[in-house]
Every structure is written in C-alpha cells, then in structure tokens.
Structure 1
Amino acid sequence: MTTRRTQVAIIGGGPAGLLLGHLLRAEGIDCLIVERQTRAHVEGRIRAGVLETLTTELLERLGIDAGLKAHGMREEGFNLADGEHVIRIDIARLTGKHVVVYGQTELTRDLIAAAPDRQLEIVFEAGEVAIHDPDSDTPSISYTKDGIVHRVDCAIIAGCDGFHGPSRKAIPAGPERVFEREYPFGWLGILADVPPCHPELIYSNSERGFALASMRSPTRSRYYIQVPSSERLGDWPEDRLWDELERRFAPLAERPVTRGPALEMSIAPLRSYVFETMRYGRLFLAGDAAHIVPPTGAKGLNLAASDVAYLSDALIGYFKRGDESGLRDYETRALARIWKAERFSWSLTKLMHRFPEDGAFERRMQQAELDYLAGSPAMQTAIAENYVGLPL
C-alpha cells in the first residue's frame, strides 16, 4: 500500500469533479481527482450541450474557455411547439442573457487538457474506490491502480462520482432524504454530422410524442424523440429514427431534416431524483451524486456547476481563512437551487410530453398552458429566467 495526503480528495473525473479541482487549484488548494474510467471513456461520453451563464462564467474565470469562445454557439432563444404552433422564447430580450451550445464532451476534454499546467492531478482507471471514516476528523479514500492499493488521507472528500458512484452509498441509511420520480418513457437520441434543421432548439409536443431538435455545432446535430420505457435500441434502426424525425419536424423546422450516419445512438431513461443529505461529516456530494433531472430544460450539467460554485467557495473559505460557515451552509444553499431546477425540469417535462396515463383532460391542460404561454410575456419571462439559469 502507498499512502499520501491531500487537502481535498475528489471522487469522479466528470465535469463536476474537474471544475471543482480547477477552482481549488486556482486558489492554491491541494487536491486529487480519482476516476474509475479510462481517460478515453470520460472524454468520449456524449452528454448535454446547453450551458447556462453560470457555467460559462466559471470557465471564463478559470481561463479555460478558448474552445468555448472558438466553437460555442450563442443562442438567444429557443422554441416550444404544440402541434404545428411554434412559440419562440426570446431569452435575450426577456432576460438580457443567453445560453451557449457547447458539448459536454468538448468541455470535459478542455478541463482535462488544462489539468497538467494547473498542477491538477487526475488518476484514471482507479479501481475499488472506497471512502473511509467520512464522519471523523481523519477521513480518507482508497483505490487500486496497477495492482497496488493506494490510500489518500485528506481533510475533505468531495463526491462528484455520479448516480452510481460510491460517495452517496457511503452515507448511512439513517440521515438520507430521498425524493424520486421515474417517468414512463425515455429519450431515444441520435448524434450525426449533419446541419441542424433549425437555427435554435425546438422542443415539440405532437400527437406522435415529444421530440427535440438541437445541435452541437453548425455541422453536427443532436435529435431526440420520446419512446416508451419498454423500447430497446435494437428496435430502432437508423432509417426508422430518421423517418420519425422527419414526420415530427417537417411542419416546424426552417429546413428539412438532413440524414447522416449516426455517431452515437442511445436511449436515456428519464428520472427526477434528489438525495437531500449532501453533507455527511467531511463528505460532500455534488452533481449527479446528489440529484438527477430529466434532460428537458438542459439543467443536469449546469446544476452540477452550481453545486461546485457553492462548494468551492465554501472550501476556499475553510482552507484560506479558517471559516467553516460555508461548509455548514453548503447543503441548504445548494438544495434551494436544486429544487428550483427540479421544478423547472419537471414542469417542462409534464408540459411537452405525452404521458400514457393521461387522457383528454390532461391534453386540454397542456394546450391551455401553451396557449397562455404564447400570449403572456410574464410567463415567457419566467421560463426564460429558468432556462438561462437562476442566480446563485
């Protein structure tokens, strides 16, 4: 066994862990990131692509925004469609802000590439990661690498390891507070190097179900359709999916859906989930380790970024000034924003999807809500404020 010490041991090398590590290193705080997957796997994961102002500002603050500035697509609005009726939400006019389309894959690569120059150490392919004594003054983690067991003593453990990681599981059953809603459908997605059918995102609620037209660049498109949770990827050859996308977007889009070979196809289940115990002793949870939102509204990555903003400020105050108030308040501050994002994602999911248990009354409620939204600047402003991201 090898033993070393650091101030903060970060479990998870996704965007949450990477952002936290960079923010701490910028203040001279020693930290180590431990990630169970390979670097290629982490850099190749296809995820979200719409960044709130908060997330882009964190990247600018770190000086890791060259890729964002060169390739990010500024979006000043998005569209909600009910049948063939399209409602444009002008977020720039309503809020004075905008979002940026920049794939999580690219963002993750940027953060990893910048790590060596910032003396941010990342251990990839760390097996059997375990947390020890998180509720004591001497917490530690252990992992195996190349057949050797490594122990890391630390002052703080940051669990940024996602829904299936060990961090949340290290919190005893007693203090946990879990809230969950599983949805009876998933999103079937395809990524392809084809120009998008519309210059802005379209969230569509049609008789055939929900669909989303989005993009990663002017030449790369990301499409999704709602499918029953019982569907399997093998049920959907590429031509069948392209046919369905054409049916759903032909009446709405600026130009026809362009077909191309899939770079990636997957079915993602939809879930709303909050694990309210975000602190247990010296263990703090951030990102998907503590919460999941349905992808409607693009809050997942951005919510992880807000957790990290709160947690990094708390840790900087603790290590630089001996101030523990930020650590004590972290859970309360983070949860206040988490539940607002959960509400927005849940409400937009309810508004834009066809639920199998719903009948004519629920459909009329969707139509009335969208009709009211179309004519109400106040309601459009509320949606725009949530879409660009609520303040910290």
Structure 2
Amino acid sequence: MSTQVCIIGAGPSGLLLGQLLHDAGIDAIILERATLEHVLERVRAGVLEQGTVELLERAGVGERMHAEGLVHEGFAITREDEVHHIDLSSLTEGKTVMVYGQTEVTHDLVERRAQTGALSHYQVEAVDPQDFDTDHPHVTCRIGGENIRINCRFIAGCDGFHGASRRAVPESAIRTFEKIYPFGWLGILADVPPASDELIYASHSRGFALCSMRSHSRSRYYIQCNAGDSIEAWSDDQFWDELRRRLPAEMAEAVTTGPSFEKSIAPLRSFVAEPMRFGSLFLVGDAAHIVPPTGAKGLNLAASDVHYLFEGLRAHFLEREDTLLDAYSQRALARAWRAVRFSWWMTTMLHRFPDNAPFENRILETELAYTLESQAAKTALAENYVGLPY
C-alpha cells in the first residue's frame, strides 16, 4: 500500500490535516487504533480560537459549527465574591472565540471525510513508523488481522501523548520538558442550561472552578480536586454543592443541577517535546505538547500545528518548495511555547496549590488582583485567550 502522507491518529488534528490534504489533491491515509464509535464519543474541549474556526471552514466543515456554535465576546473571572468581566472583543479589536465541542468537530470532520471518499482505517493494530530518517519511510501495522506495510513520503504523528509516533523517536534525538500539577479537574456533563451566557473562571479559597457549556441546554462544569481523588468518591450532589460554594452567591443561584451523563477526572500537566520533526516524521498536537485546560489551548494548539504542517506539505507537493516544511518544527514550537506559558500562567494564578508557602500564595493573589485591575494586563490575557496569530 502506498500514499503520499500517512497520518497516524483520527482525532481532530489528524482528521483536519487529512481533509485539508485531500481537498488540495494530496493523497493521505489515516490510521486509528480505536473504533470509530470510540473516536466519536470522546469528550474534550469546546472553546475554538478564530484561527481554528477559519481552518475548519477551509476544510469544509463550517456550516453546522456556525449554526450551532456559540460566539463569545468575553468571559468572567471571579475572585471569592467579586465578579470581573474580560471583554475579549473590545480588548482585541473585535476578536471572539467560538464555543463548539470537540466531539462535534470530530463528527463534522468524520462526515466530511466520508462524503469526499478519503481513506481512513479504524481498529488498526501494531502501528509502527519506520525508517523515517531514510529515503524510504513507511508504516507497518495490522488491519483486519493482516500485516500491512504503507510506503509514504511523509508521516504525520497525530496520535496523542501515548501514541506510537513519539515513542518511535530515539531518546537521544528528542528533548522533553514537563510539569505535573498537584491537582486535577473533576468534570461533568449535564443536560441543564448553563449558569451564564459566558464562561466563568472562579478563583476561590476552596479551589478553582469553571462553568462552561456545549449548547444552550448542555453544560460542562469543572472543579479543582485532589490529584488522588476517584470519581466514585464524588456523587453528583456533592459535585453541585462544591461547585456552588466556589461561585459568588448570584452565580451559584443560577446553577441548574441535574444528573450527569459523563464524569471524569483529568490530571493536569504541561509537556513539550523538541524538536517536532525527525526526518520524514512530524509530531502534531498532543504527540508533541500538552497544556492544562485552563487556557483552552489544547485543540487550538493542535490546529495551529496542522496549519503549519499543511502549508509545508502543500508547498512541497504542489510547488516543489521545502522552505515552509523545513521551518515546521521551529514555527510550531514557537507558538506552542507561547500557549504553554499562557496555560501555565492561567493555571498558576487561578488555582490553589496545596504545598505553597504563604509568600507564594500572596504573590499569586497579587498577580490576579493586578491582572483584573490593569487594562494592559487584561489586554495581554485577552490577546492570548482569543489566540495569537499563526
């Protein structure tokens, strides 16, 4: 089997890259270890930067997003009982974000790929990128019980933090940077109307909380929890009670409770792998970097990687020009580190760290106070939140 680009991973980044390549007339095969049903059921982030929205439009999947997505011009940050509004639109000359769940993005991309007849394989086993440092890169795998070799010109590793792509790189060729945070996020999805028309980031002495939504009738809520907590230790009633304790009274009263249909605990980490290119193998999205969800950068950072890689591959195949492809790792990492910094900053400023000394706690309290009082600081926050330019 042969193709021009072999994409490992059928998450949003792999699907988006595959669709952009297909529409440009560049042959690409997608390999995914999970079932299609599992891919479509993954619950992830839901805040899209303007650049991500534009990439999805370019891939031909903007119609439902614009019909059902929620455009947000700002969000709230609360500090104990205080409420502060961050007006994204006025602080960034009209830029906004779109609230549209990653699950919906994946559905749209899967449907678009099927409509255009592009090739995807699911339940693929033993995926192994090989010889990507030679002139004969290929991927071996098992599809339907049959051993397959896929010859290709390039390999795009879009298979996440635990995928085969980064593992295939020799340890001596890669450098990693990591920070593990001493807490997690307990999150639930419930079919109840959201507490507010905008997201609420709550900084409280009991811990951080986030009020988000997927639609006018589906809400996504999070609370900071201990790193060792189990889902079984948290009933729905306990979750709702704790969430409301961390919100100002008026916002707490606006929370509509109901049974959750999804509940999970996500550990928080910052992670970057350098470089992001190894010969003919390119790392994309979570395969190269992880950010805590506080700054809403995970999916958006993967989308910017796709943008840079697609530009490079299109120029290589259609224009016989490799300048952009050769610059992929440098360009992607420069933007990744800015997003990692912003996500670390938001996380550090808004959460409670159990082992912090009193001095550190006072510094973080002062950082938040300054951010909420300073027009310059709020502008910097807004510019990063809506997304730095590609």
TM-score relative to the length of structure 1:
0.97
Aligned residues: 389
| 8 Å CA contact retained: 1:82, 1:367 | no
Asked if 1:92 is matched to 2:89, the reply is: yes
Residues 252/208 of structure 1: CA separation in 2 closer, same or farther (3 Å cut): farther
- 1:119 is matched with 117
- 2:206 is matched with 208
In 1, Cα distance between the equivalents of 2:114 and 2:28?
Answer: 13
Residues 125/48 of structure 1: CA separation in 2 closer, same or farther (3 Å cut): same
Asked if 1:195 is matched to 2:161, the reply is: no
| 8 Å CA contact retained: 1:184, 1:356 | yes
> 1:104-152: per-residue Cα shift (whole Å, max 9, x none)?
0000000000102223211011111111111111111122122111211
- 1:368 is matched with 366
SS at match of 2:263: strand
In 2, Cα distance between the equivalents of 1:317 and 1:346?
Answer: 34
> 1:58-100: per-residue Cα shift (whole Å, max 9, x none)?
1112221111011100000011111111221100111110000
In 2, Cα distance between the equivalents of 1:73 and 1:20?
Answer: 24
- 2:322 is matched with 324
Letter in 2 for 1:22: Q
- Per mean C-alpha deviation after superposition, the further-off stretch among 268-277 and 79-88 is 79-88
- 1:56 is matched with 53
- 2:162 is matched with 164
In 1, Cα distance between the equivalents of 2:57 and 2:303?
Answer: 13
Letter in 2 for 1:207: S
- 1:43 is matched with 40
Asked if 1:18 is matched to 2:19, the reply is: no
Identity, % of aligned pairs?
53
In 2, Cα distance between the equivalents of 1:75 and 1:124?
Answer: 35
Give 1:247 shift.
Answer: 1.6
Among 306, 309, 325, the alignment partner of 1:308 is 306
What runs of 5+ residues in structure 1 fail to find an aligned partner? none
Give 1:254 shift.
Answer: 7.5
Among 248, 251, 263, the alignment partner of 2:249 is 251
Instruction: Name the Cα RMSD after superposition.
Output: 1.1
- Per mean C-alpha deviation after superposition, the further-off stretch among 278-287 and 139-148 is 139-148
Give 1:367 shift.
Answer: 2.3
Among 74, 77, 92, the alignment partner of 2:74 is 77
- 1:228 is matched with 226
Give 1:252 shift.
Answer: 5.2
SS at match of 1:217: coil
Residues 29/135 of structure 1: CA separation in 2 closer, same or farther (3 Å cut): same
Letter in 1 for 2:120: I
| 8 Å CA contact retained: 2:203, 2:246 | no
| 8 Å CA contact retained: 2:293, 2:343 | yes
Asked if 1:173 is matched to 2:171, the reply is: yes
In 2, Cα distance between the equivalents of 1:365 and 1:252?
Answer: 28
TM-score relative to the length of structure 2:
0.98
Letter in 2 for 1:231: D
- 2:137 is matched with 139
| 8 Å CA contact retained: 2:80, 2:247 | no
